[in-house]
Structure 1
């Protein structure tokens, strides 16, 4: 106690104390008339629960049981949309008779400035500077942890925590309102926040500060609070905070902003409902020091204290913390804020879903779009089939298989014909079909494509595949016919075409060469026999038979080979048209099946989840309204 206090009459001290109570609501309990309680630490125990603690069902007051059950149901139904940290804080507050109220003092520029502000809000003008005040005034001591201010004596021993440093403060405000104050910083990086859209809103970042463990590898731990006082220094900090909270809809009662600005010459007009206030920590510090120096400076202290703007913060600090029979108004505001946030997130999800559904075209539009793309693809594919095959059959490679070159090109028939089919037969149409399949997949036809089997496609019967007496076609087969997506129809048809028509063309070429050589050899032998057996025939006359046989064989070879080539060309063209027609029929079949509603419709599970979450929010609101009505009825009685 300062030495000048002993010489002052007790009546003067009591009158001064009553005046200070009206100016400064943060007097310590050592000058209060109420007796101290023995177990201070038990009464002011922190509500911070270790993650490894065993969750046991608390002894819930009967009046709060309905609200507790509604909040528990909300945590299960709206886990995706609710802030779990704030919801757990609300559950612990409802489960206790007089739960601890958490208030955070966050510095925008540094934690030291926030500590000095908290010191002025809790300091006792009638007492000398205490050790906890000196701890808060320290700066640059290497300990960057947050500070938790709890009611108690300096001799109290607290369990060490890697998240914050605990200081015992003998403040009547902390004791009478069962209050804890967390002093930390609010890390704001506007450029990073604007560049990368974070899923966490600015309001959640302020009401749920992140505490960094002492270990560099530790992850930030959320520490939810009921109210937050944000303290900045200078106009630049106010502008920075405004940019940070640009996503907020408006002022929030649970958030107060104080900016350290030059003090005014006269006392500022205080409006209790303002979301921001201008203060001057230096003026408040000087006023506190002047009163501690001498009680005669009470007028100077009063003027300086009001000029500093700190009374508005002192009033806001204890606002909505009045004890009641059920729960404090601050706890009611927390629960209502949680319900509003959950409902807002659900509304955003519903809006996003509706926008997505609105951007999806209708079935008729989808059908018309796919049919349009299909017709364009079919037209281009038929044009490609005609032009590419005309170019291929007039190329030098195909002319290498002329009948008179067949004698030395007979082994190249397979290579040249296969090359035409692989490089000229619907290559661009096959690539375009993949793009068309992608459009159908995007439009929701993927399931229809996958479940459409080959036996569902109308099959074109040819002479080779028709049922005959020698080769009867039955429905019994050991081969499993797997569903085949239509984009593979062209490649499959090409492979089958190469395997079916290229070997017969090669066989025709070899057979004609053999027949030509055989006929020529037979006519030559007949010529020699006539020349030797008929003496009247000259060699020239006998050679006429050989010439006749050679001419016949070559003419026959030319006719048959050119006919085989023209037939082969016609088969290639016809199979190309059939393949395109079959592919087009498959796509139209898929469109018809989808239009008849045969397509698989996946139900949006998020709709059910959001409906259940809305019902849980409504139950919380109903339970909270009943508690408010009961409280109001009790006050009237």
Structure 2
């Protein structure tokens, strides 16, 4: 028979004598041993070694395995079995739980911010076996909480049919170094790999074996918890206790979260009861969290008054241990043992730890189902709370409608003033002396006053008061939080092309500012052309488009830019038209006069009347044409200025009303809404998979 087959056979025979063997781990151990055998057949001088301490036969093939491959202390097969709650848990998932397991893995991705990842991972590992190991935490409360939890664990796991075991005293003696204790089923003589996080103690307890339970013994600190933590956070701290681990850096202490399926808060004496009274009452949940208050249930006189008046979570650990000691002393004390054991109320506590019995093999373990229900409920509550809180914050940050109504009425009031300003001030400017200088008969000697008078009309009388009140109401909007300075500076299509030029210059100027700072900070000499580069750009843009880019107020620039636009387009066009008409008038008059003079000369003065009439007709016709056409040009200029004013006012009013209506409204981001939707869908899918797994 090949050596590898002998090794497999020997391992199977040695492990067969023991109970509680995981088939997956057994197969893994056989494969590892077969691979190790192929590398160690050359070394045959090592000492004989046993696979299990209870195996009677020796196998030469195993005895020849090199000691260099197994120099570590021997670890029993029971202690090496991977628990479903371990980090390196087996990845085999039963067919009935595969869908739920996949949904839980997806839940960790979709709702990672709304779940406790350690609890979800514990639930997922519990689904990797049809008979999972249930982890129960005994949380000692108060100064004597750690010792009270160990005493309770000893009373629950002790076997009254056997003598006192060594692990019982070891259980009470542990904890001196401050480490936590993990109780698992196994041979007490098995060596285990200890960790600085938790000390593992293997106990040959039928309770742990029958119910597949492992018990974590640690402490719970409640100093200020009721004030600092919310109810949900405190419940999370109990179901996911923090284990302290020493840190080599400066002697500091770290914390590791260790999730459990259910937790039992243990308190002893009056001090422990007082500590327990500080906790909120919602923690006393029969499915996930309960309490055990160790108090005497029998008075010194032996009456049952204390037992009858005590609450359901009161147990008598000392009475239970006394009953066990009586039965160990003599089997004749069986009746007294039963009475005291029932009086101590530990049977009900054992039933709670073990969970319901008689469930079908394909059904999810009740502890795992309760864990999943708790995780999904908390995930749904967390998603709803996040959505509600974000919506409330958005609603709180939104400007109230009363303030919006007040500002909207203020805009209506100022809008009426703006239209009156346009009508009265522009009308007064048209009747003023500077504008009368542009009359047609004054063009002959005041042609240059056309551009000056038109520019003064726009600069001094076109929406000047409206622009001042616009600055005031813009400040009110910015003060109310309805708009920022950049939002207020936006303008409509009436001055779009002018603003585009200003925006290009602003971009160039903002891009030039860091360069100018770097030039000033440099050690080399600075040239004047480098410092005046931005100013030359401003001057060039103003010369090309009439836009003064240095004017950058925190209110709408529509009026200012529209005025600059008209100064740059309408005024030069009006002046050019006046010059054209005047030149045409002078040309016509001169031509008519020349023709009359030619007739006079040609007729030797005989047709002096005809020559004079022709010259007078030409002059009168040209002047009449100048009067008529120039009048239309002036009226067209005034109409354009007035219509531009109305359009600008309507545009500014629309812009301000839009800011009042839409500005200052905080809303929840679309990304957050989408994440909440995906998380809620993941929770629903997990819930549906859990219902199908019944």
Segments of 5+ residues of structure 2 without an aligned counterpart are 1-16, 22-51, 53-75, 416-469, 498-538, 561-647
2:480 maps to which residue? Answer: 439
Distance change (3 Å), C-alpha of 1:134 and 1:374: farther
Instruction: Indicate conservation of the 8 Å contact 2:231/2:280, yes or no.
Output: no
Query: Following TM superposition, by how much is the alpha carbon of 1:300 offset from its aligned partner in structure 2, in angstroms?
Result: 2.2
The CA distance in 1 between the partners of 2:485 and 2:212, in whole Å, is: 61
Instruction: Indicate conservation of the 8 Å contact 1:107/1:114, yes or no.
Output: yes
Q: Secondary structure at the match of 1:345?
A: helix
1:202 maps to which residue? Answer: 234
Distance change (3 Å), C-alpha of 1:42 and 1:166: closer
1:486 maps to which residue? Answer: 554
1:148 is aligned to 2:189: no
Distance change (3 Å), C-alpha of 1:89 and 1:430: same
The CA distance in 2 between the partners of 1:286 and 1:197, in whole Å, is: 39
Deviations 1:506-563 (A, max 9, x none): xxxxxxxxxxxxxxxxxxxxxxxxxxxxxxxxxxxxxxxxxxxxxxxxxxxxxxxxxx
The CA distance in 1 between the partners of 2:279 and 2:549, in whole Å, is: 62
The CA distance in 1 between the partners of 2:319 and 2:278, in whole Å, is: 28
Q: Secondary structure at the match of 2:127?
A: helix
Distance change (3 Å), C-alpha of 1:34 and 1:450: same
2:130 maps to which residue? Answer: 97
The CA distance in 1 between the partners of 2:541 and 2:242, in whole Å, is: 75
Greater CA deviation, 104-113 or 92-101? Answer: 92-101
Question: Of 375, 391, 398, which residue of structure 2 is paired with 1:338?
Answer: 375
1:595 is aligned to 2:661: yes
Greater CA deviation, 234-243 or 258-267? Answer: 234-243
Distance change (3 Å), C-alpha of 1:164 and 1:597: closer
Query: Following TM superposition, by how much is the alpha carbon of 1:132 offset from its aligned partner in structure 2, in angstroms?
Result: 1.4
The CA distance in 2 between the partners of 1:478 and 1:197, in whole Å, is: 65
The CA distance in 1 between the partners of 2:176 and 2:410, in whole Å, is: 69
User: TM-score, normalization: structure 2?
Assistant: 0.54
Instruction: Indicate conservation of the 8 Å contact 1:452/1:485, yes or no.
Output: no
Query: Following TM superposition, by how much is the alpha carbon of 1:480 offset from its aligned partner in structure 2, in angstroms?
Result: 9.8
Distance change (3 Å), C-alpha of 1:229 and 1:476: same
Deviations 1:401-458 (A, max 9, x none): xxxxxxxxxxxxxxxxxxxxxxxxxxxx9999878624225xxx33862772699889
The CA distance in 1 between the partners of 2:311 and 2:365, in whole Å, is: 21
Q: Secondary structure at the match of 1:201?
A: helix
Any residues of structure 2 matched to 1:372-383 within 5 Å, and which?
none
2:348 maps to which residue? Answer: 312
Query: Following TM superposition, by how much is the alpha carbon of 1:603 offset from its aligned partner in structure 2, in angstroms?
Result: 3.4
1:211 maps to which residue? Answer: 243
1:111 is aligned to 2:143: no
Instruction: Indicate conservation of the 8 Å contact 2:296/2:316, yes or no.
Output: yes
Instruction: Indicate conservation of the 8 Å contact 1:103/1:226, yes or no.
Output: yes
Deviations 1:332-379 (A, max 9, x none): 11111111111112222233244345546678545224457889999x
The CA distance in 1 between the partners of 2:540 and 2:118, in whole Å, is: 75
Any residues of structure 2 matched to 1:424-573 within 5 Å, and which?
437-440=478-481, 445-446=483-484, 449=487, 452=490, 476=544, 481=549, 484=552, 486=554
Greater CA deviation, 95-104 or 592-601? Answer: 592-601
Deviations 1:165-186 (A, max 9, x none): 1111001121122221000011
Query: How many residues end up aligned between the 2 structures?
Result: 438
Query: Following TM superposition, by how much is the alpha carbon of 1:81 offset from its aligned partner in structure 2, in angstroms?
Result: 1.0
1:70 maps to which residue? Answer: 103
1:277 is aligned to 2:343: no
Distance change (3 Å), C-alpha of 1:102 and 1:344: same
The CA distance in 2 between the partners of 1:212 and 1:440, in whole Å, is: 49
2:119 maps to which residue? Answer: 86
1:230 maps to which residue? Answer: 265
Distance change (3 Å), C-alpha of 1:590 and 1:175: same
Query: Following TM superposition, by how much is the alpha carbon of 1:159 offset from its aligned partner in structure 2, in angstroms?
Result: 1.6
